[in-house]
Structure 1
Amino acid sequence: MGPKKYGKKRQFSQPVLDENGKINKNSIRELQTQLNHAEKESSPALSSGESKVLAGVWIQFAGSALEAIGVTEELQALQEEGETDDEGLALERQAVSGVWLQTIGTALAAFGFSLEISPDERQQIQGRKLGIIGAWFESFGTAMEALAETKLLIDDIDEQIPF
């Protein structure tokens, strides 16, 4: 999502400078009034779409975190049982590492989007950067998991086919 400008454009009801180039006293009072009013305004509300995206990225992070915890528990159970060979165990570890990288990426993306919807343009840029870094983590983690799971599946199929 790109940077978004919040707030209304404010204009003075009369020229700020008079014909001699001096600041108009009415303009100073008007500016003070506008500044006082701006300080009292609450932060801008999120659009319906932004609210849904924000909720979605945090829900996605929670789901990723639960998945990572679950696959870690499964890996620990496999290690304790000792039924998996060293290569299989290494592939399982690779898959679990991939899931954790995805979780880290999802967290970065969620934090990034939270910053991106800020009215502060610097925070928006930082949020976009964080979101991009998160996307790279997610992509790399997904690739790691997919490669490991593919190799595990091929090994399982090879074991079941008699020669």
Structure 2
Amino acid sequence: MNNKNENPELEQKRLSLEKQIAIGIWIQVIGATIEFLGIAKLRGISENPDSIPEKEVLSGAGIQAIGTLFEAIGVTGQITEIDNTLKLDAQKLAIAGDWLQSIGAALEATGGTGEFLEEQEQANLFVP
């Protein structure tokens, strides 16, 4: 968001909102990390820890956590950097983080679907 404005009040409001966004993303980093660690511990006590779907869920959560961290670092860099080249690098990092989060979410969803199908098969449930 490089809309530099001549109005100092508007510029201050913009900076305040950008900082709020950064704080929100850092909170997401904490949440994604807690989720990843919880899934890893749960997999450690799983009856079938070598299950491909379980590995996909864990890998997906890990990739999302890394992506969220990249996004948080990038967004923070966009706010704190003065040099425009470094701001652009920070934007690239934030975008790369978004892509990693998307890839991780897709992998986690694939694994979750696989886990569901395994459980459904074991339960011999009839789904018309």
Question: TM-score under structure 2 normalisation?
Answer: 0.83
Displacement after TM superposition at 1:136 (Å): 0.9
Q: What amino acid maps onto 2:120 in structure 1?
A: I
User: Contact (CA 8 Å) 2:68, 2:98: kept in 1 or not?
Assistant: yes
1:101 — aligned with what? Answer: 63
In 2, the alpha carbon distance for the partners of 1:137 and 1:113 equals 15
Question: Which 5+ residue runs of structure 2 have no aligned equivalent?
Answer: none
For the residue of structure 1 that corresponds to 2:45, the secondary structure is helix
**1:114 and 2:114 matched:** no
Question: Which 5+ residue runs of structure 1 have no aligned equivalent?
Answer: 9-43
Larger RCO (alpha carbons 8 Å, 6+ apart)? 2
- Structure-2 change in CA distance of 1:162 and 1:108 (3 Å): closer
Q: Give the one of 108, 114, 122 matched to 1:151.
A: 114
**1:84 and 2:44 matched:** no
User: Contact (CA 8 Å) 1:4, 1:119: kept in 2 or not?
Assistant: no
Higher helix share: 2
Pick the structure with greater CA Rg: 1
- Structure-2 change in CA distance of 1:130 and 1:150 (3 Å): same
Displacement after TM superposition at 1:47 (Å): 2.4
Displacement after TM superposition at 1:158 (Å): 2.0
User: Contact (CA 8 Å) 1:72, 1:96: kept in 2 or not?
Assistant: yes
Q: Deviations over 1:115-159 (max 9, x none)?
A: 111332112101110011101110110000000110110121122
Question: TM-score under structure 1 normalisation?
Answer: 0.66
* Percent identity between the two aligned chains: 29
